[in-house]
Structure 1
Amino acid sequence: MENFVLDMFNQYGYVALFFLLALGIIGLPVPDEFLLTFSGYVVYTGEISFTLTFCTAFLGTATGSTINYWLGRRYGLPLLLKFGPKIHISAKKIELTQRYFQRFGKPLIAFGYFIPGVRHLTAYFAGMSGISYRTFAMYAYGGAVFWAMLFISLGRMVGANWYLVTSIVHKVSLWAIPVLVVIAIGVIIYYIKVKNKKSYNMIKN
C-alpha cells in the first residue's frame, strides 16, 4: 500500500494527497502519517509548495472527517458494525474508540488523529453522540491543522530520513497520546474549578 501511495502522489501530486487523506480518514487502509511525512520530504526537495501541501492535506483530512461525522449522525452504530470490517475497521477498534469517546469526548475529536486505529472513528462517534456540527468542526478542524502541519513539517525537517518518522511515531503514540489527552483534560478541569472558585469568592465578598 505504501508503494501505491507513493506512486499516486508522484503522479498526481496535490490531487492524490487530497483524496488519499480523505479516504484514509474515512477508513480505507491509507498510511496517513507516511503520506504526510513523505509530502513534507518532497517540500524539502523544493518540488512542491509547503503552503499548498499543507492546505491540501488539511482539506483532505477535514473532508474525510466531515463525511464520517454526517454518516455517524445519520446512520449510527449499526452501519459501522455492518460495514466497518470491510474497510479494516474491526469490532475491537470500534469498542476501543467507544470507550475513549465515553471518557474523553470532545478533546478526542482533536487528539484522535494521533492515535492509530482511532482517528478513523472519532468523527463518526461525534456524529453518533449528537454533538453539534459547530462544536465538532472546532475540534476536528483544529486537530486536522495541527496533525497535518506536524507531519509535513517533520518530513521537511528530517529530509532524506523522512521514512524513519512514522515508525517512531507509531510506537510512541500508542501510549503517549492518551496520556497527553488525560493531562490536557486535567488542566482544563483545574482551570475551570479555579475560575469558578474566584467567581464564587467575588460574589460572596
Structure 2
Amino acid sequence: MELEVILDMIENNGYIGLFIWLWVGVFVFPVPNEVITMTVGLASSLGVLHPAGAFAAVYGGIVAALTTAYTLGRVIGRPLLSYFEKRERFSKPIQKSMKIMDQYHALSLSISYFIPGVRNFLPFLYGFSKLPYKTFALFAYSGALLWLSIVFPLGLLFGDHIETIVAHEQEILILLGIILLFFVSFKLIRRKRIKKREKMT
C-alpha cells in the first residue's frame, strides 16, 4: 500500500512533490525514509524520474527536514522537549538519541541517519543544545548524503525487493557503509602514493 501511495505521489507531483514529502513527511507521515527513497530509486529505474533529478529532490527534502528540526530545537526547544518526553512514543527515541550524543558528540549527527527514529530527534536536540549551525550542517548534511548514496542505488538496482531490504536494513547499511569506507580509504591512499612518487621523480 505504501509503495502505491508513493508511486502515485511521484507521478502526480514530480520532483517538487518529492521534495515537499521528504521535507514535511518526516513530521506528518509515518512512512520510513528508506521506503520512500528506495521507491524513488525504483521509479527512476523504470524511467518515471531521472535518477539525478530524483536524487537531488530527495537530498534537498532531507536537508530541509534536518534544518527545520534543528531550527525548531533552537527556537522552541524546551516546551517541545517537555511535550515529547511525556509521550511514550517519543520518550524512548529521545533517550536513545541522548545516549548517542553523549557517546559520539557532533559525529553522532553523521551516524544518526542510519538509525531510524534517532535521525528525527538528534537535529532537534542539537538545536536545543545550541550547537553552532556550521558544525550541525557539516555533520548532519554529510551523514545524510552518505546514507542517501547507499540507499538510493539500492532502490535503483533492487527496487523490486524493497520489503526484504527494509527488514534487514541496518545489517545491509552497515555492510555497505564499511565497503564504501574501505573504497574511499583505498582511493585516498592510492592518490597519496601517486603524489609521493611524482615528487620523487
What TM-score do you get using the length of structure 1 for normalisation? Answer: 0.75
Distance 1:173 1:77, change over 3 A: farther
- Segments of structure 1 that go 5 or more residues without pairing to the other structure are 181-205
Counterpart in 2 of 1:54? 55
Aligned residue identity for 1:96: K
The aligned runs of 1:24-173 (5 Å cut-off) are: 24-26=25-27, 28-82=29-83, 89-170=89-170, 172=171
2:15 is matched with 14
User: Which region of structure 1 is more displaced relative to structure 2, 12-21 or 102-111?
Assistant: 12-21
Alignment partners' CA distance in 2, 1:173 and 1:98: 25
Partners in 2 of 1:162 and 1:81 — Cα distance?
36
Aligned residue for 2:120, secondary structure, equals coil
Moved more, 19-28 or 45-54: 19-28
Decide which moves more: 68-77 or 57-66. Answer: 68-77
Preserved contact between residue 27 and residue 89 of structure 1 (Cα < 8 Å)? no
Partner residue in 2 for 1:188: none
Cα distance in 2 for partners of 1:84, 1:10 equals: 38
Tell me how large the CA RMSD over aligned residues is.
2.6
* Residue pair 1:114, 1:173 contacting (<8 A) in 2 also: no
Match of 1:198 in 2: none
Residue of structure 2 equivalent to 1:189 = none
The alpha carbon displacement at 1:131 in A equals 1.1
Residues 135, 27 of structure 1: alpha-carbon distance in 2 compared, 3 angstrom cutoff: farther
SS in 1 for 2:18: helix
Change (3 A) 1:4 1:47: closer
Do the aligned partners of 2:19 and 2:60 also contact (CA within 8 Å) in 1?
Answer: yes
Cα deviation code 1:118-151 (max 9, x no counterpart): 0101111111222100111111111121122221
* CA shift for structure 1 position 27: 6.3
- Name the amino acid aligned to 2:80: L
**Alignment gaps of 5+ in structure 2:** 179-201
In 2 relative to 1, CA 27–115 (structure 1 residues): closer, same or farther, beyond 3 Å? farther
When structure 1 is superposed on structure 2, of 121-130 and 53-62 the one drifting more is 121-130
Q: 1:69 to 1:20 in 2, by over 3 A?
A: same
The separation in 2 between residues aligned to 1:27 and 1:101, in whole angstroms, is 25
Residues 37 and 166, structure 1, Cα contact 8 Å, conserved in 2:
no
Q: Which amino acid aligns with 2:53?
A: L
Instruction: Give the TM-score normalised by the residue count of structure 2.
Output: 0.76
